[in-house]
Structure 1
């Protein structure tokens, strides 16, 4: 019995071998520029200042003459951590900043993302409106809210009917309210950033999970908190790290508002004050910078360890 569709080995032509193109001198030059230029910029703007800050934190230097450059040991750290009257209040303000963003700013961004994920009419327009503060510089946001909080003719005091009167609230000069005023301004930007991240996370959730939860009789809230939100675990980790880093690097809004005065200290503000401010002591400012760096490395290392561990699994 013969095969109706005989295929002989000779009739099968081998696939042509693909040859990798050798890089030319021009290709190597382009790659060298594309890789080398960003590396050089990063070394100059990031790594050299980092090394210089660590070195200066152990030195005593007036910033003018190299003859005044002397080894100071741990004296700068001792002053920064135990003797500076501003360190503990600044650290407490950073903790409050973190808690405020974690309890109000991040959930607000999640709420906006969930609402805009419902495919409501004009959702693209709403996304652009809420994301607009993220595209603005933080310094510009500080200026906008400075105008909003102005004691004489600001929008909020005008809304309260107290603008230009003795009853007007000094939002940035009053130590009892200026931190909360700055936090509202920071949340305005933070919520839009978190909204975009959660929108991307929601788009990545498998629709079959929601369908299965619906078939099991789960309502909308149960589906979200028991199925959708746990499925966004990678996004949640990223947002936790971002929220922590945002609370530590907060500087621009506070500096634009009142220069970190009137009880509105932050660790980043102390760094700038001691490095270039009126109380210029470069060694102590560098010590504050290193302390802030070490604190910031904790969430970054946590995120990297978790990421690489998941990849190994």
Structure 2
């Protein structure tokens, strides 16, 4: 009886670069060049993250317990333990107003700018006429740096030639007066933040299942009730992202106040105090590192909450 050819359906021919792994699965065998490319794609970003993020963060935490001016040799670094933290809290007058201003920054972004961005996202989600134009116009400030935004608003806030004083008929120094400059920069920061939040919520609204709105409409729910009781809870991951982004934005606020007056005269922020102590005239690396570590610890709380929420959603 002649030998029959093997059944190709049962024994499919192996393709180059693959190997059977059982149950019909095949693993791809990478060439040496491919393995080298994959290794570089993993190792290079990892080294960049470690070198530019984790190492500086660890060095900052370590230096926060020292007394060093950044000039002397490393062998002369004096370990002082928690003295820098005690000095920050008890013996550093700019720190309490900086904390108040950061909290005010957070409140302004969270209470005013974030709801406004969400409201604009809801309007644009209804595909109004000219929606693309409005999206672009509202998002445009986000692509600008905070330093550039400070210069743009200087044209509005200038005491002698500013648009705002020309309209109001006053000569208020909006950036120089310590009683009003914090509110002036908050308006500028909120102008940028609104566009960012609008984009996040607009993306979240596009991802909501339309059947949820249809079911609410069948039950007789109004548009407002449908949003707050159906759509808004369905965007829980987006809400967590917005919360974390808003908190981090309020903590790392720096560029705008530094452009205005280097974080002095009513614009004290923790980030500006860090820069003043680390690269200022009287360089105090240890003291500035203690301030930076405080910011890092506060940020880690919200980042941990965000990561825990994301992992919980993925398990579901």
Q: Normalising by structure 1, what TM-score?
A: 0.91
Q: Partners of 2:64 and 2:25 in 1: how far apart?
A: 57
Match of 1:6? none
Q: Cα gap change, 1:256/1:215 in structure 2, threshold over 3 Å: closer, same or farther? A: same
Match of 1:185? 188
Match of 1:144? 152
> Which of 211, 232, 237 is 2:235 aligned to?
232
Q: Normalising by structure 2, what TM-score?
A: 0.90
Q: Cα gap change, 1:24/1:12 in structure 2, threshold over 3 Å: closer, same or farther? A: closer
Match of 2:56? 49
Contact 2:237 2:309 in 1 (8 A): no
SS of residue matched to 1:20? strand
Q: CA deviation at 1:12?
A: 10
* Residue 27 of structure 2 corresponds to residue 20 of structure 1: yes
Q: Partners of 2:7 and 2:284 in 1: how far apart?
A: 83
> Which of 104, 116, 119 is 1:96 aligned to?
104
* Residue 139 of structure 2 corresponds to residue 131 of structure 1: yes
SS of residue matched to 1:264? coil
**Paired residue total:** 299
Q: Cα gap change, 1:176/1:15 in structure 2, threshold over 3 Å: closer, same or farther? A: farther
Q: CA deviation at 1:309?
A: 2.6
Q: CA deviation at 1:18?
A: 5.4
Q: Partners of 2:282 and 2:168 in 1: how far apart?
A: 38
Q: Partners of 1:147 and 1:48 in 2: how far apart?
A: 40
Contact 1:60 1:68 in 2 (8 A): no
Match of 2:72? 65
Q: Partners of 1:94 and 1:15 in 2: how far apart?
A: 68
Match of 2:115? 107
Q: Partners of 1:237 and 1:38 in 2: how far apart?
A: 27
Contact 1:241 1:300 in 2 (8 A): yes
SS of residue matched to 2:263? coil
Q: Any residues of structure 2 matched to 1:272-287 within 5 Å, and which?
A: 272-287=275-290
Query: Which aligned segments of 4 or more residues in structure 1 are displaced greater than 6 angstroms?
Result: none
Structure 1, unaligned stretches of length 5 or more?
1-9, 163-167
1:148-176 deviations in Å (ceiling 9; x for gaps): 211111121122233xxxxx111111111
1:199-243 deviations in Å (ceiling 9; x for gaps): 011011111111111111112111111111111111111111111
Q: Partners of 1:19 and 1:292 in 2: how far apart?
A: 49
Q: CA deviation at 1:57?
A: 0.8
Q: Partners of 2:83 and 2:183 in 1: how far apart?
A: 34
Q: Partners of 1:21 and 1:206 in 2: how far apart?
A: 38
* Residue 36 of structure 2 corresponds to residue 29 of structure 1: yes
